[in-house]
Structure 1
Amino acid sequence: MIQSILTFGASFLAPKLMAGIQNEKVQVLHALPGRVRLQCDRWKNNYTATNLEKAFKTIPLVTDVRASPITGSLLLTFATQKLTPEQFDNIVKSAVQVSVASYPELQADLMNILKNVIQTIDVTMKKQTGGKVDIDSLLSVVLMINGILKFPAQPAFSSSLLYWAYTIITKKK
């Protein structure tokens, strides 16, 4: 019975592991005896590249490792001229596992885009008003006006608007 449960569990895990590898879209750019260059677009950041290098430096089979955050490639040099299919699969799986483990620590691309948009709006507002208005001051005024006008009908909500305005105005830079 326990073996049946384990087999049943493994039948669910194997497709998930393979799906993870397929989602990563790891490509073999070139392979020579004792050396391989892998590439994945998701490796195009310093944090993941550094983690890949650290992880592969601890593998005895690997004699040299270089990860490029610019190209998203991983160059591995091995102690042997030939790898078994199992060794190669384990290398690719290890690279996928290390990169996936690094994702929670990365700044989301969407958040970077939003920060750039806000910064662009802020700079434009300052230029257009000669430095008299920025996004924080405009948002504070809007929150205060709405908080004051809606206070008689919605005191709890209005209080939160006024508090948000207060926190924007008094935030430390």
Structure 2
Amino acid sequence: MAGTQQKRVCLGVIVGAHGVRGLVRVKPFTEEPEGLAAYGPVETKDGSRRFGIEVTGLAKGTVICRLEGVGDRDEAERLRGTELYVDRARLPEAGDEDVWYHADLIGLAAIGKDGRDFGKVVAVQNFGAGDLLEIERPEGGPTVYLPFTGENVPVIEPEAGRLVIDPPGGLFDEVPGEDGAGEGRNG
């Protein structure tokens, strides 16, 4: 796949300690919460720390995990907010043609059905109402959030480094600011 070298996928984030023996509570981003440890050791975002990981239970929407080398509550608590990553290559292929890992979408060019360059995908966000592609425009300015639906994104071609979008009318239009300069609608 184009542009997939060294891509990593965030499997979850540590939200706090659990008990006094160094267990952590992790908010999972995996389809099945127990899948958090299915792909082997995890790393911090900057790659400075690597942990063997074992799922020991579930509690209130989180996964309770033992991280290799973390032996007490204080150390577990210091890890609060730490995102846990694995290399994309360790994950299975999505399998379903309508299922995508966020890491496979980031960096793709966003091209309109008419060939217009809308920019590139810089992130996939979810603020509670479904996935949004965050698109950085080629001319700069604020990013635009495009709802990630089949209607708005009819074609996804990671091997070609692009996706085809059909955004709702006006989404990428400029809104004049008080000084007459364009200002992004979504920024």
Tell whether the structures are fold-level matches, with TM greater than 0.5.
no
TM-score by length of 1: 0.29
- Larger strand proportion, structure 1 or 2? 2
Higher relative contact order (CA 8 A, sep 6+): 2
- Larger helix proportion, structure 1 or 2? 1
Structure number, greater radius of gyration: 1
TM-score by length of 2: 0.27
